[in-house]
Chains A and B, each alone.
Chain A
Amino acid sequence: MYADWPLLSLVIWTPILGGVLVLFAGDREPSGARKIALVVSLVTFALSIPLYTQFNSETHLMQFVERHSWIDAFNIEYYVGIDGISMPLILLTSFMTIIVIISAWQVIQYRASQYMAAFLIMEGFMIGTFSALDAILFYIFFEAMLIPMFIVIGVWGGANRIYATLKFFLYTFIGSVLMLVALIYMYSQSGSFAIFDFHHLRLDLTEQVLIFLAFLVAFAVKVPMWPVHTWLPDAHVEAPTGGSVILAAIMLKIGGYGFLRFSLPITPDASAELDWLIITMSLTAVVYIGFVALVQRDMKKLIAYSSIAHMGFVTLGFFIVFRILDSEQGSAGAGLALEGGMVQMISHGFISGAMFLCVGVLYDRVHSRQIADYGGVVNTMPVFAAFVVFFAMANAGLPGTSGFVGEFMVILASFKASFWIAFLAATTLILGAAYTLWMVKRVVYGEIANDNVAALEDLNRREFLFLAILAIAVLALGLWPAPLVDVMHPTIDNLLNHIAVPKI
């Protein structure tokens, strides 16, 4: 029945139009706006499910393609489609948005309709970013999603929200404008803005290096990679819970996705040439940021740094492939590295989202994010404590949770490239466990620290619902990652074949 539907467009535009509807519904009847928002997000998720069930995982070709000419003057097209890389990320997006809307149900009282609308519109833009196959369409979605996030952090954020949101917007914008120039340059060479035409565009090494650097700035800020990560802790700390969840679970992934969709296939030779740079930045993120996370006093900041460290794994996985391809053993482990990076992205989406929601649950009750203000939470909130410990274990990479799968694949692949890279990457197993579990120890266990903690009430049904859903997702992906790995397999293989051929 779905065969003739423009399914992808529906998944992109339903939340955007739904968001506008919620905006007009207004705040006179806040529960009405909330209900519309929930329905819209559920419908979007329902629409995105066929993207998985109808997905043909035998081919690397784009599926659900829609291609219409849009701006003839510059040959810009409305060109969308998905493959094994983008499809899981789209499902993650539509899934997490439901969680965010449920989590904001009672917490957000100030201008609830605008809050809900911002997230719905952002959802549409993010799905658009993942499915755009025209560079300008991609850029438009890529930039447009900043606007709702800017407003979410600025209006519903914490005390220092304005500094944080301006920093967030400016950082991301400065990264992306250079990418825009690179895109226009490639257009002037190829006469088309279709991303696949860029993939096959011949570029000499200087051009490739410059284009690669332009992309690097754009995506490194988004991921974020050390040393351009400094906006993230600020943005996370000040953002409302929903903002942090979407930021960590989806927006960071767009940087990783950009590397796979743009940097690697468009500039393979420059990527191979400069892989040392990315690997160094990634390992710094894993090791140094891991230590930084250890000393944080603010729970959200700690999780933000942990996100940076985990995303370091993603970029490490993406760029270690060049070392693997060069090594004596050949290309055997290269696919493992890319797939590991992808699995890590999806898994981190669930886990970081869950961790931020857990902090949100505490913050709603005590209005503090400081670790020192808690202690002995398990005594008053046993169910919550169980969830926190579970997600913390997943964050630390416990086998059986999704956090383990991606990290394990990347470390395994790194051994084929170099022992020392793998060794440094593996320190995360210790560091990650240290900073996460130490936080859990201080917050959850021990004696009841103060009256606030003593007065805590355990999870209500709504909170239990969204944490339980996420726990199931983390567990399912950890025990049986095959469905995820299978859908991306042909795409990853094709990408590897593509980057193995020099373009010069």
Chain B
Amino acid sequence: MTTEFVPPDLMPALPEMVMLGMTCLVLVVDLFLPQEKRGFTLLLSISTLLLAVLAVGAVAPSSGSVSSFGGSFILDQLAVVLKIATCVVTILVFIYSRDYLKDHDIYRGEYYVLGLFATLGMMVMISAHSFLLVYLGLELLSLSLYAMIAFNRNSLAASESAMKYFVLGAMASGLLLYGISIFYGITGTLDINAVSAAIDGQIEQNPTALAFALTFVVVGLAFKLGAVPFHMWLPDIYQGSPTAVTLFIGTAPKIAAFAMAIRLLVDGLSGLQLDWSQMLTALALASLALGNVIAVAQTNFKRLLAYSTISHVGFILLGIIAGTASGFASAMFYTITYAITSAVAFGVLIMLNRKGFEAENISDLAGLNDSNPWYAALLAIAMFSMAGVPPTVGFYAKLSVLQAVVQIDMIWLAIVAVLFSVIGLFYYLRVIKVMYFDAPASEQAITIKDALDVKVILGANSLSLIVLGIFPSLLMAYCLLAFA
């Protein structure tokens, strides 16, 4: 008997293939470029991402989903929206980080190549519909990030961070893989649809084993998301990495982590929802509490944003806990807008850096409104958005998550969440206070590079927070569609 090899439909994976091909091209071209022509690598990298966005648009199914590679790769509305968001955010990251890399003598092609590979990993994670492919995407992302953090080899702090991230990340991956292998043992398959079906059949006989496996998967996820108590790595890595890398870590990978949570928990393990929603509730509460409270004591802006990320993860988890389509959609909205918001925050911080000066403390922002009202206003918008003050998009993101939580009658959870967000407001306000009300600490007034392109793009990025806050339907419609 001969089984005929049917070649898989490659079209759904066109964006990934474009990314891979172009990234290799960037790698090779960059080799032959002299240092002063490095701008071409940047240009090529951005066009790679733009091409990927176009490719996603070209192959996007008008409705429903397309799967390929024996069901392990899926392209649905969720994947389309998240991939576009990931690529757009990465473009922003590349643009903002240019001057920083130049000033710190690390303006090299590797940053872009690694960034592109990481993006490819994220796109794979977003589309993965098999446990194995989720893991592969995750590892591609993580390995690229380890290298990116250590990329400035003269920096001790960066090397330490890379080591820390590597060790902890490997452990988390191991836990995740262990959980996956138990699921494989119970269900005999790695395909997410098949696992889901098998769990529905097995839930009666094997509740303990399933819960056991689930625990490991949730731990692995919680680590990648940065939920308390698996958050320890986050502040250290944010602080230790070069700001250009922190900017990257703090934005696009959140979207991928959200996708992973949806693929594993919602698509694959929906039969165990009762179990994981309880686990996530504990994680969410701990994240909201610890993230917001500890952030108050931070003086380093990067650490502050790390703790703020932790608290935002709490909110994202709340949306997933709700377990309804509107809950998932609101969590997705929250994740995407959070990535956009934090791109602004890190973007302004990165513009404060100059040769021989690493701006990373909140006090470095003192008097920003006097020296540069434009950037001060942009950062203020981002801070208000993170705090959830209308009319910024952060308010609407919180509103939609809270609405989903109240809908399932967990009002107490909503109350706890809003009370902690008041604590959160305090430290965001402190940043604004420093920018607007304090005088610059040192003689050397803040000098911001006057790069017009960054000024304009960062401005558009920040103003989009207000536009989306006033017209959230622009994005929310797609989020709802993804879970329709």
Identify the A interface with B (CB < 8 A).
71-74, 114, 136, 139-141, 143-144, 146-147, 150-151, 154-155, 161-162, 165-166, 169-170, 173-174, 177-178, 180-181, 184-185, 187-188
The residue from B326, B384, B396, B400 contacting A147, defined by CB atoms under 8 A apart: B384
On chain B, the residues within 8 Å of A181 by CB distance are 402, 406, 411, 414-415, 418
Is the beta-carbon distance between B426 and A155 smaller than 8 angstroms? no
Can you give 26 contacting A-B residue pairs, CB < 8 Å? Answer: A71-B473, A71-B476, A72-B473, A72-B477, A73-B326, A73-B329, A73-B400, A73-B473, A74-B403, A114-B373, A143-B390, A143-B395, A150-B429, A154-B437, A161-B437, A166-B433, A173-B422, A173-B425, A174-B419, A177-B419, A177-B421, A184-B403, A184-B414, A185-B406, A185-B411, A187-B403
The residue from B402, B406, B429 contacting A169, defined by CB atoms under 8 A apart: B429
Whether A184 touches B402, Cβ cut-off 8 Å, given contacts A154-B433, A173-B425, is: yes
A24: min CB distance to chain B, Å = 11
CA distance A93 to B127 in the complex (A): 54
The residue from A140, A162, A166, A178 contacting B390, defined by CB atoms under 8 A apart: A140
Identify the B interface with A (CB < 8 A).
326, 329, 373, 384, 389-391, 395-396, 399-400, 402-403, 406-407, 411, 414-415, 418-419, 421-422, 425-426, 429-430, 432-433, 436-437, 472-473, 476-477, 480
B478: min CB distance to chain A, Å = 11
Is the beta-carbon distance between B402 and A73 smaller than 8 angstroms? no
Is the beta-carbon distance between A151 and B395 smaller than 8 angstroms? no
With A73-B400, A143-B395, A144-B391 already in contact, 19 other A-B pairs whose C-beta atoms are closer than 8 Å: A71-B396, A71-B473, A72-B473, A73-B326, A73-B480, A146-B389, A155-B436, A162-B433, A169-B425, A169-B429, A170-B426, A170-B429, A177-B422, A178-B415, A181-B402, A181-B411, A187-B403, A188-B403, A188-B407
B182: min CB distance to chain A, Å = 38
On chain A, the residues within 8 Å of B415 by CB distance are 178, 181
Is the beta-carbon distance between A184 and B406 smaller than 8 angstroms? yes
List the A residue with the shortest CB-CB distance to B402.
Answer: A184
On chain B, the residues within 8 Å of A180 by CB distance are 399, 402, 418
CA distance A114 to B425 in the complex (A): 23
On chain B, the residues within 8 Å of A166 by CB distance are 426, 429-430, 433
CA distance A350 to B60 in the complex (A): 61
Whether A170 touches B422, Cβ cut-off 8 Å, given contacts A147-B384, A188-B403, is: yes
On chain A, the residues within 8 Å of B402 by CB distance are 180-181, 184
Closest 4 CB pairs of A and B: A140-B390, A177-B418, A154-B437, A174-B422
Whether A188 touches B390, Cβ cut-off 8 Å, given contacts A71-B473, A150-B429, A166-B429, is: no
On chain A, the residues within 8 Å of B400 by CB distance are 73-74
Whether A140 touches B429, Cβ cut-off 8 Å, given contacts A147-B384, A177-B421, A185-B406, is: no
B246: min CB distance to chain A, Å = 27
Is the beta-carbon distance between A136 and B399 smaller than 8 angstroms? yes
The residue from A71, A74, A170, A184 contacting B425, defined by CB atoms under 8 A apart: A170
On chain B, the residues within 8 Å of A170 by CB distance are 422, 425-426, 429
CA distance A74 to B398 in the complex (A): 13
CA distance A170 to B472 in the complex (A): 26
List the A residue with the shortest CB-CB distance to B437.
Answer: A154
List the A residue with the shortest CB-CB distance to B326.
Answer: A73
On chain A, the residues within 8 Å of B414 by CB distance are 181, 184
CA distance A185 to B326 in the complex (A): 15
A153: min CB distance to chain B, Å = 9
Interface centre among A72, A141, A147 (most CB of B within 10 A): A147
On chain A, the residues within 8 Å of B411 by CB distance are 181, 185
On chain B, the residues within 8 Å of A165 by CB distance are 433, 437
B257: min CB distance to chain A, Å = 24
Is the beta-carbon distance between A184 and B399 smaller than 8 angstroms? yes
CA distance A166 to B427 in the complex (A): 10
A181: min CB distance to chain B, Å = 5
CA distance A417 to B16 in the complex (A): 76
CA distance A169 to B429 in the complex (A): 9
Whether A144 touches B403, Cβ cut-off 8 Å, given contacts A169-B429, A185-B411, is: no
On chain A, the residues within 8 Å of B396 by CB distance are 71
B327: min CB distance to chain A, Å = 12
Interface centre among B391, B399, B400, B473 (most CB of A within 10 A): B399
Interface centre among A74, A165, A177 (most CB of B within 10 A): A177
A146: min CB distance to chain B, Å = 7
Whether A140 touches B391, Cβ cut-off 8 Å, given contacts A71-B476, A155-B436, A178-B415, is: yes
CA distance A181 to B425 in the complex (A): 17
CA distance A131 to B389 in the complex (A): 20
A30: min CB distance to chain B, Å = 15
CA distance A150 to B436 in the complex (A): 11
Is the beta-carbon distance between B472 and A71 smaller than 8 angstroms? yes
Is the beta-carbon distance between B422 and A151 smaller than 8 angstroms? no
CA distance A479 to B468 in the complex (A): 49
CA distance A114 to B377 in the complex (A): 12
List the B residue with the shortest CB-CB distance to A72.
Answer: B473
CA distance A140 to B395 in the complex (A): 9
CA distance A177 to B402 in the complex (A): 11
On chain B, the residues within 8 Å of A143 by CB distance are 389-390, 395
B5: min CB distance to chain A, Å = 46
CA distance A187 to B411 in the complex (A): 13
CA distance A146 to B432 in the complex (A): 13
CA distance A154 to B429 in the complex (A): 11
On chain A, the residues within 8 Å of B432 by CB distance are 150
CA distance A66 to B421 in the complex (A): 33
On chain A, the residues within 8 Å of B437 by CB distance are 154-155, 161-162, 165
Whether A178 touches B418, Cβ cut-off 8 Å, given contacts A74-B400, A140-B395, A154-B433, is: yes
B391: min CB distance to chain A, Å = 5
List the A residue with the shortest CB-CB distance to B414.
Answer: A181
On chain B, the residues within 8 Å of A187 by CB distance are 403, 406
On chain A, the residues within 8 Å of B406 by CB distance are 181, 184-185, 187-188
On chain B, the residues within 8 Å of A185 by CB distance are 406, 411
On chain A, the residues within 8 Å of B391 by CB distance are 140, 144
B406: min CB distance to chain A, Å = 5
List the B residue with the shortest CB-CB distance to A140.
Answer: B390
CA distance A144 to B429 in the complex (A): 14
CA distance A71 to B472 in the complex (A): 7
CA distance A141 to B389 in the complex (A): 10
B457: min CB distance to chain A, Å = 19
CA distance A150 to B411 in the complex (A): 30
On chain A, the residues within 8 Å of B418 by CB distance are 177-178, 180-181
CA distance A139 to B407 in the complex (A): 19
On chain B, the residues within 8 Å of A73 by CB distance are 326, 329, 400, 472-473, 476-477, 480
On chain B, the residues within 8 Å of A174 by CB distance are 419, 422
CA distance A185 to B473 in the complex (A): 21
On chain B, the residues within 8 Å of A169 by CB distance are 425, 429
CA distance A166 to B433 in the complex (A): 9
List the A residue with the shortest CB-CB distance to B420.
Answer: A177
CA distance A181 to B412 in the complex (A): 10
On chain B, the residues within 8 Å of A177 by CB distance are 418-419, 421-422
CA distance A144 to B390 in the complex (A): 5
On chain A, the residues within 8 Å of B426 by CB distance are 166, 170
On chain B, the residues within 8 Å of A154 by CB distance are 433, 436-437
A401: min CB distance to chain B, Å = 38
List the B residue with the shortest CB-CB distance to A143.
Answer: B390
CA distance A166 to B437 in the complex (A): 11
A264: min CB distance to chain B, Å = 23
CA distance A178 to B416 in the complex (A): 10
On chain B, the residues within 8 Å of A178 by CB distance are 415, 418
On chain A, the residues within 8 Å of B384 by CB distance are 147
CA distance A141 to B415 in the complex (A): 21
A162: min CB distance to chain B, Å = 5
B462: min CB distance to chain A, Å = 15
On chain A, the residues within 8 Å of B425 by CB distance are 169-170, 173
Whether A151 touches B436, Cβ cut-off 8 Å, given contacts A74-B400, A169-B429, A185-B411, is: yes
